[in-house]
Structure 1
């Protein structure tokens, strides 16, 4: 096959054009080549090069002086011009599926091990160096600076994913852990524990988003330990809720329910309605993953009931402020979607997506793929493919294996409709976003 780096994709409008579809169906390559030249700007010499044919042979085909009947030639035309196999009566071509969608769940080769949580954590051992460089007298302003940096990390995580942020976050975690080795006034010491717990949770989250679940669990466990040192039960509930969500991604719904139940136990006293609403929605996810319709609906009702109790001025912790009305609505739609209740889920997810913060690229991609899936379940194929095409823009802007996972799920659900023009259009856009690996050019041109 010709070098894919230089292979020009045909326009979606041409691949879905009725004349092109008919020309491919009857293998009228004179008409195919003329359409490719007129609509895609791929001239006969380029057709010859991309399809491993001689220019004279392509010219004869266009002039109606020669027909192309051999299967290996037809396959080279499909591969060279990127014409989906089904259009020419061929099996699905290898290049039609982006290589990124074949990637399985990523896990570390060697899961963390050691005598305790700190020893188990992966990462560069720079804590002692950072501690020496930073000094040993943190003040309230130091705590505020650390908290501000954490807020910035979360914002950048939403916009770009956490893969590139992780080294900085781990380095800051090591630094704070170094400060905790000395005794300090109680307010400062408690503040440092809280900062360290949030940095450990954020690091765990970046590994979770990368689908490196062993690493994520190690850091979430460390966050729990740090929060327990200062009896921060609401934050412990938050970490357990993160672990519950991870369990749903790992297809461990019973674990997810046990973890969110433990989170709710931690949050019995001293938490705000917003925290309780968030936890109730995580419970709904766990019940939905178990297929328990009644329990899911009950948990959804509890989440909305708690959300209605929110008042301006509530002492919400910073880590739960993301759980606003659009988030409540989209999570409600997703919970219904997990149950297969697409008719209920679709308008909820669509409403929340319309109000999504444009800067939250990962959230927009997640929710758009969820919307596409519900539309597909309802038989709205054209609309589902259009929604999925729009989701490719934020998906390409953020580094997130979880986003790729949602894309993969939609792609697999689209399998029965591969030959429908709307699906062909989606796959063409998908290939442009996630191109296949480059292959070497053959040493000779066949005729």
Structure 2
């Protein structure tokens, strides 16, 4: 605290390190929840509304009160910067460049211009580069006027010189020194960041660990140079082609997800989203809308990854960001699609009414949705009806209508809204609906039929085996449920799918009356290992 107070000499308010390092403050900063940030500063430091208003500047006590009560919010970049400077929140915690007060003129470590975050003082190893990055850096000069942009090509890190001032002026300075090879064929990530990436709501860690640009196989040097040029001069180089480039990166990450899991996929996705958000500020309106349309797709995917990691509050943040960007991009189909995703997330919380009403809202014609998404929404509506105890005849009629609609959908490519929703996906979702409708025997058979076809990804096989185990347990087949559950637990451990683990925990509860059976005991041990 003494060191940071020295940096902030002359500032009227500096919140203590003990508050900055709490999970509540890190969560609030990660999601830019300024209502919670102001509430924590008010209650944990005893600062009055007047003191807070004075510290932030250009703000009244009444506005501070409105922010804490949730009546008003904070969105402007300049206001966010004033909050960081007023409270002494390091820039990286709020997704900002390092603030002017972060570091003494001579540098904390004796190097001119050096800056360190609050956490670095207590964790000196956090800033140390790994051996691989040191070896790669030695092959390309890093001068005061240039910096090195990390790009992964065919699993190998390549550092490309980029104008340092141009990047740092756009808040991408932290990108330059972080090497994360999540896009390699083996899905490796830097050992020092892989565990931290999934630490709940630690935006500082995500920002520090996630900003590598992963280039697809076969990417030419000319294309890589175009990417780095675009990052250095958004006005001249960011156009539709660059939006397509980012979309291709996103599709690559989506393919990796089913094989590698959320932990290894998140760094690349978060890095892409940060770059898109930063660069969308500096382009013409038409290009901004195109970039934000890609960003909305990526934000939805980030929300899904956090759902799989069982971090629902962060998932909600990204789903809301996806909706906001889709609205600004004038992308009605993505807006309707996000209603479907929110309905599916409501199922995670077993909120039956929201499952139904969100699915129904997504079916409005204003969204101009692809046929596959319309079919998925109709199936989701059937699930909501099942959860609310509607007659089986009504549920099955909606499921039949969804299947009929799906048969009319034109065959599309591997990407696009609803491209994943096919006959197999529909049957898997139908099985979930039958479980909720009190017909677990039908559900177990459907799950078994699709899983045995071998069409699912590694992660999805584990998840739907967990669903199958739940249906078998409800059907009174404890030994088979335990066997399937144990196989699912192995996959859940490998890809670290917290969503799968949650379902398996529910299966164990259902099997509690058969706890003494050998198969159930083996399943319990496999679950504990996961």
Query: Aligned-pair distance for 1:387?
Result: 1.4
Equivalent in the alignment of 1:419? 516
- 8 Å CA contact 1:366–1:403 kept in 2: the answer is yes
State the alpha-carbon separation in 1 of the partners of residues 302 and 475 from structure 2: 38
Stretches of structure 1 that go unaligned for 5 or more consecutive residues are 1-105, 435-447
Q: 1:45-124, aligned counterparts within 5 Å?
A: 110-111=27-28, 112=31, 113-114=33-34, 115-116=73-74, 124=95
Deviations 1:274-313 (A, max 9, x none): 111111122222222223234433331221121121233x
Superposed displacement of residue 401, structure 1: 1.5
- 8 A Cα contact 1:330 1:348, kept in partner: yes
Equivalent residue, structure 1, for 2:315: 216
1:110, distance to aligned residue in structure 2 (A) = 4.3
**Alignment-derived partner of residue 245 in structure 1:** 344
Deviating above 4 A after TM superposition, structure 1's stretches of 4 or more consecutive aligned residues are 106-111, 116-124, 130-133, 314-317
Q: Counterpart of 2:497?
A: 400
Partner Cα distance (1:339, 1:107) in 2: 39
SS of 2:262 mapped into structure 1? coil
Q: Is the 8 A contact 2:343 2:354 kept in 1?
A: yes
Residues 1:365 and 2:465 are matched in the alignment: no
Structure 1 residues 316 and 156 mapped into 2: Cα distance closer, same or farther (>3 Å)?
closer
Residue 282 of structure 2 aligns to a residue whose secondary structure is coil
Structure 2 length as normaliser, TM-score? 0.56
Question: 2:68 matched to which residue of 1?
Answer: none
- The answer to which of 216-225 and 201-210 deviates more is 201-210
Contact 2:336–2:369 (CA under 8 A) maintained in structure 1: no
Contact 1:326 1:356 in 2 (8 A): no
Structure 1 residues 214 and 326: CA distance shift in structure 2, 3 A:
same
- Aligned equivalent of 1:128: 171
**Aligned equivalent of 1:323:** 421
- Would you say the 8 A contact 1:209–1:400 is kept in 2? yes
- Indicate yes or no: 2:452 matched with 1:354: yes
Change (3 A) 1:254 1:108: farther
**Equivalent in 277, 280, 289 of residue 180 of structure 1:** 280
Residues 190-216 of structure 1 deviation map (CA, whole Å, 9 limit, x = unaligned): 321211111211222222222222221
Q: Which of 376, 393, 396 is the aligned partner of 1:297?
A: 396
| Cα distance between partner residues in 2 of 1:161 and 1:367 | 15
Partners of 2:336 and 2:367 within 8 A in 1: no
CA RMSD of aligned residues (A): 2.9
Between the two proteins, the alignment pairs up a number of residues equal to: 324
CA distance in 2, matches of 1:160, 1:316: 19
Say whether 1:144 aligns with 2:221: no
Aligned residue in 2 for 1:49: none
Residue of structure 2 aligned with 1:380, choices 452, 474, 477: 477
Separation in 1 of the partners of 2:444 and 2:458? 20
> Per the alignment, do residues 116 and 205 of structure 1 end up closer, same or farther by CA in structure 2, a change over 3 Å counting?
farther
Q: TM-score when scaled to structure 1?
A: 0.66
Measure, in 2, the Cα distance between the counterparts of 1:380 and 1:407: 15
Q: Label 1:326 to 1:381 Cα distance change in 2 as closer, same or farther (>3 A).
A: same
Larger radius of gyration: 1
CA distance in 1, matches of 2:383, 2:272: 32
